[in-house]
Structure 1
Protein backbone atom coordinates (compact mmCIF):
# COMPACT_ATOMS: atom_id res chain seq x y z
CA UNK A 1 0.00 0.00 0.00
CA UNK A 2 1.21 3.48 -0.72
CA UNK A 3 0.51 6.61 1.32
CA UNK A 4 -1.84 7.64 -1.49
CA UNK A 5 -4.04 4.72 -0.41
CA UNK A 6 -3.47 5.63 3.23
CA UNK A 7 -4.37 9.24 2.38
CA UNK A 8 -1.76 10.64 4.76
CA UNK A 9 -1.32 14.40 4.52
CA UNK A 10 1.16 16.29 6.64
CA UNK A 11 0.86 19.96 7.52
CA UNK A 12 4.24 21.61 7.93
CA UNK A 13 2.80 24.93 9.05
CA UNK A 14 3.73 26.66 12.27
CA UNK A 15 1.59 25.51 15.15
CA UNK A 16 0.95 22.11 13.56
CA UNK A 17 1.71 18.99 15.59
CA UNK A 18 5.02 17.25 14.92
CA UNK A 19 5.03 15.11 11.74
CA UNK A 20 5.22 11.87 13.74
CA UNK A 21 2.14 12.93 15.74
CA UNK A 22 0.22 13.83 12.58
CA UNK A 23 1.13 10.45 11.09
CA UNK A 24 0.24 8.59 14.30
CA UNK A 25 -3.10 10.37 14.64
CA UNK A 26 -4.12 9.81 11.02
CA UNK A 27 -3.33 6.10 11.05
CA UNK A 28 -5.03 5.66 14.44
CA UNK A 29 -8.15 7.53 13.29
CA UNK A 30 -8.40 5.48 10.11
CA UNK A 31 -7.86 2.20 11.96
CA UNK A 32 -10.44 3.00 14.64
CA UNK A 33 -13.01 4.17 12.08
CA UNK A 34 -12.56 1.02 10.00
CA UNK A 35 -11.16 2.86 6.96
CA UNK A 36 -8.06 0.75 7.55
CA UNK A 37 -9.45 -2.68 8.39
CA UNK A 38 -7.88 -5.12 10.82
CA UNK A 39 -5.15 -7.01 9.01
CA UNK A 40 -4.37 -4.14 6.60
CA UNK A 41 -0.64 -4.28 5.85
CA UNK A 42 1.09 -0.95 6.36
CA UNK A 43 4.08 0.15 4.31
CA UNK A 44 7.54 -0.46 5.69
CA UNK A 45 9.05 2.31 7.79
CA UNK A 46 11.54 3.14 5.06
CA UNK A 47 8.94 2.95 2.31
CA UNK A 48 6.52 5.27 4.06
CA UNK A 49 9.31 7.65 5.07
CA UNK A 50 10.42 7.88 1.43
CA UNK A 51 6.90 8.45 0.14
CA UNK A 52 6.17 11.18 2.70
CA UNK A 53 9.60 12.79 2.59
CA UNK A 54 10.23 12.08 6.27
CA UNK A 55 13.16 10.61 8.15
CA UNK A 56 12.80 6.89 8.81
CA UNK A 57 13.13 7.60 12.56
CA UNK A 58 10.03 9.83 12.38
CA UNK A 59 7.92 7.04 10.88
CA UNK A 60 9.44 4.49 13.27
CA UNK A 61 8.48 6.70 16.23
CA UNK A 62 4.88 6.91 14.99
CA UNK A 63 4.74 3.13 14.45
CA UNK A 64 6.13 2.50 17.97
CA UNK A 65 3.47 4.78 19.48
CA UNK A 66 0.73 3.06 17.48
CA UNK A 67 1.97 -0.36 18.53
CA UNK A 68 2.10 0.75 22.15
CA UNK A 69 -1.52 1.92 21.83
CA UNK A 70 -2.58 -1.44 20.37
CA UNK A 71 -3.55 0.09 17.01
CA UNK A 72 -0.98 -1.80 14.96
CA UNK A 73 1.10 -4.92 15.42
CA UNK A 74 4.43 -5.94 13.97
CA UNK A 75 4.75 -9.53 12.85
CA UNK A 76 8.50 -9.76 12.43
CA UNK A 77 9.58 -10.04 8.81
CA UNK A 78 5.97 -10.33 7.66
CA UNK A 79 5.42 -6.63 8.24
CA UNK A 80 3.24 -4.26 10.22
CA UNK A 81 -0.53 -4.62 10.26
CA UNK A 82 -3.59 -2.88 11.67
CA UNK A 83 -4.51 -4.77 14.85
CA UNK A 84 -7.96 -6.12 15.60
CA UNK A 85 -10.03 -3.22 16.86
CA UNK A 86 -11.27 -2.97 20.38
CA UNK A 87 -9.30 -5.54 22.33
CA UNK A 88 -6.07 -3.62 22.71
CA UNK A 89 -7.74 -0.25 23.18
CA UNK A 90 -10.25 -1.57 25.72
CA UNK A 91 -7.54 -3.36 27.68
CA UNK A 92 -5.34 -0.23 27.65
CA UNK A 93 -8.24 1.99 28.76
CA UNK A 94 -9.14 -0.37 31.60
CA UNK A 95 -5.54 -0.37 32.82
CA UNK A 96 -5.36 3.43 32.66
CA UNK A 97 -8.65 3.73 34.54
CA UNK A 98 -7.43 1.35 37.25
CA UNK A 99 -4.17 3.29 37.62
CA UNK A 100 -6.12 6.55 37.86
CA UNK A 101 -8.47 5.12 40.49
CA UNK A 102 -5.52 3.95 42.58
CA UNK A 103 -3.75 7.32 42.26
CA UNK A 104 -6.92 9.28 43.15
CA UNK A 105 -7.39 7.09 46.23
CA UNK A 106 -3.76 7.67 47.34
CA UNK A 107 -4.32 11.42 46.91
CA UNK A 108 -7.28 11.21 49.28
CA UNK A 109 -9.91 12.19 46.71
CA UNK A 110 -13.48 11.11 47.27
CA UNK A 111 -15.17 9.06 44.54
CA UNK A 112 -17.08 12.18 43.47
CA UNK A 113 -13.92 14.29 43.30
CA UNK A 114 -12.13 11.64 41.26
CA UNK A 115 -15.07 11.32 38.87
CA UNK A 116 -15.27 15.10 38.47
CA UNK A 117 -11.55 15.33 37.69
CA UNK A 118 -11.82 12.54 35.10
CA UNK A 119 -14.97 14.07 33.60
CA UNK A 120 -13.29 17.46 33.27
CA UNK A 121 -10.25 15.91 31.61
CA UNK A 122 -12.47 14.05 29.11
CA UNK A 123 -14.52 17.18 28.49
CA UNK A 124 -11.32 19.13 27.76
CA UNK A 125 -10.20 16.43 25.32
CA UNK A 126 -13.48 15.61 23.58
CA UNK A 127 -15.59 18.72 24.19
CA UNK A 128 -18.95 19.00 25.92
Structure 2
Protein backbone atom coordinates (compact mmCIF):
# COMPACT_ATOMS: atom_id res chain seq x y z
CA UNK A 1 0.00 0.00 0.00
CA UNK A 2 1.30 3.46 -0.92
CA UNK A 3 2.14 6.01 1.75
CA UNK A 4 -0.26 8.97 2.03
CA UNK A 5 2.13 11.58 0.61
CA UNK A 6 3.44 9.56 -2.31
CA UNK A 7 0.68 10.82 -4.62
CA UNK A 8 1.96 14.41 -4.63
CA UNK A 9 5.23 15.43 -6.28
CA UNK A 10 7.96 16.71 -3.95
CA UNK A 11 7.83 20.13 -5.63
CA UNK A 12 4.13 20.53 -4.75
CA UNK A 13 4.72 19.44 -1.16
CA UNK A 14 7.63 21.89 -0.90
CA UNK A 15 5.42 24.75 -2.08
CA UNK A 16 2.93 23.87 0.65
CA UNK A 17 5.51 23.28 3.39
CA UNK A 18 7.26 26.62 2.86
CA UNK A 19 4.13 28.33 4.27
CA UNK A 20 4.09 26.22 7.45
CA UNK A 21 5.52 27.26 10.80
CA UNK A 22 8.66 25.56 12.03
CA UNK A 23 6.65 23.33 14.36
CA UNK A 24 4.23 22.34 11.58
CA UNK A 25 7.12 21.55 9.21
CA UNK A 26 8.50 19.17 11.83
CA UNK A 27 5.10 17.50 12.21
CA UNK A 28 4.72 17.17 8.44
CA UNK A 29 8.17 15.59 8.17
CA UNK A 30 7.04 12.80 10.52
CA UNK A 31 4.06 11.77 8.36
CA UNK A 32 5.97 9.62 5.85
CA UNK A 33 9.27 9.38 3.98
CA UNK A 34 8.02 11.41 1.01
CA UNK A 35 6.92 14.26 3.28
CA UNK A 36 10.19 14.10 5.23
CA UNK A 37 12.16 14.49 2.00
CA UNK A 38 9.97 17.40 0.89
CA UNK A 39 10.16 19.13 4.29
CA UNK A 40 13.96 19.23 4.14
CA UNK A 41 14.30 20.33 0.52
CA UNK A 42 15.99 23.70 -0.05
CA UNK A 43 12.92 25.38 -1.60
CA UNK A 44 11.08 25.05 1.73
CA UNK A 45 13.83 26.85 3.66
CA UNK A 46 14.88 29.60 1.23
CA UNK A 47 12.74 32.24 3.01
CA UNK A 48 12.14 31.22 6.61
CA UNK A 49 10.40 32.82 9.58
CA UNK A 50 11.22 31.55 13.06
CA UNK A 51 9.57 32.70 16.26
CA UNK A 52 11.69 32.18 19.36
CA UNK A 53 8.68 32.81 21.57
CA UNK A 54 6.86 29.60 20.76
CA UNK A 55 9.04 27.47 18.49
CA UNK A 56 12.60 27.46 19.78
CA UNK A 57 12.58 28.20 23.49
CA UNK A 58 14.85 25.81 25.31
CA UNK A 59 16.24 23.91 22.32
CA UNK A 60 17.32 24.02 18.72
CA UNK A 61 15.30 21.29 16.97
CA UNK A 62 17.54 18.67 15.31
CA UNK A 63 15.72 18.88 11.97
CA UNK A 64 16.33 22.65 11.88
CA UNK A 65 20.05 22.16 12.25
CA UNK A 66 20.05 19.97 9.14
CA UNK A 67 18.23 22.65 7.11
CA UNK A 68 20.25 25.74 8.09
CA UNK A 69 22.40 25.55 4.96
CA UNK A 70 19.30 26.15 2.84
CA UNK A 71 18.19 29.40 4.52
CA UNK A 72 18.80 32.50 2.38
CA UNK A 73 16.49 34.99 4.11
CA UNK A 74 15.63 34.64 7.78
CA UNK A 75 13.02 36.56 9.73
CA UNK A 76 13.70 35.92 13.41
CA UNK A 77 11.11 37.01 15.97
CA UNK A 78 11.97 37.15 19.65
CA UNK A 79 10.82 38.89 22.80
CA UNK A 80 13.73 40.87 24.31
CA UNK A 81 12.14 41.11 27.75
CA UNK A 82 11.96 37.28 28.06
CA UNK A 83 15.26 35.59 28.78
CA UNK A 84 14.33 32.20 27.21
CA UNK A 85 13.33 33.94 23.98
CA UNK A 86 16.59 35.94 23.87
CA UNK A 87 18.59 32.79 24.64
CA UNK A 88 16.92 30.89 21.78
CA UNK A 89 17.59 33.78 19.38
CA UNK A 90 21.26 33.92 20.42
CA UNK A 91 21.65 30.15 20.07
CA UNK A 92 20.17 30.18 16.59
CA UNK A 93 22.27 33.17 15.47
CA UNK A 94 25.47 31.56 16.77
CA UNK A 95 24.72 28.34 14.88
CA UNK A 96 23.82 30.32 11.75
CA UNK A 97 27.10 32.25 11.90
CA UNK A 98 29.04 29.03 11.54
CA UNK A 99 26.74 26.97 9.34
CA UNK A 100 24.73 29.12 6.93
CA UNK A 101 26.98 30.23 4.08
CA UNK A 102 23.96 31.02 1.91
CA UNK A 103 22.36 33.48 4.35
CA UNK A 104 21.75 36.74 2.46
CA UNK A 105 19.17 38.51 4.60
CA UNK A 106 18.45 38.67 8.32
CA UNK A 107 15.51 40.50 9.83
CA UNK A 108 15.29 40.66 13.62
CA UNK A 109 11.84 41.48 15.00
CA UNK A 110 11.37 42.35 18.65
CA UNK A 111 7.97 41.40 20.05
CA UNK A 112 6.22 42.01 23.34
CA UNK A 113 4.33 44.74 25.12
CA UNK A 114 7.27 46.80 26.30
CA UNK A 115 10.48 45.78 24.55
CA UNK A 116 13.41 47.01 26.60
CA UNK A 117 15.88 49.14 24.67
CA UNK A 118 19.03 47.24 25.58
CA UNK A 119 17.46 43.86 26.36
CA UNK A 120 18.33 42.77 22.82
CA UNK A 121 21.95 43.92 23.00
CA UNK A 122 23.16 40.35 23.67
CA UNK A 123 21.28 39.20 20.57
CA UNK A 124 22.92 41.89 18.45
CA UNK A 125 26.33 40.93 19.81
CA UNK A 126 25.73 37.38 18.58
CA UNK A 127 25.37 38.74 15.04
CA UNK A 128 28.85 40.32 15.04
Give the TM-score normalised by structure 2.
0.30
Give the TM-score normalised by structure 1.
0.30
Larger strand percent: 2
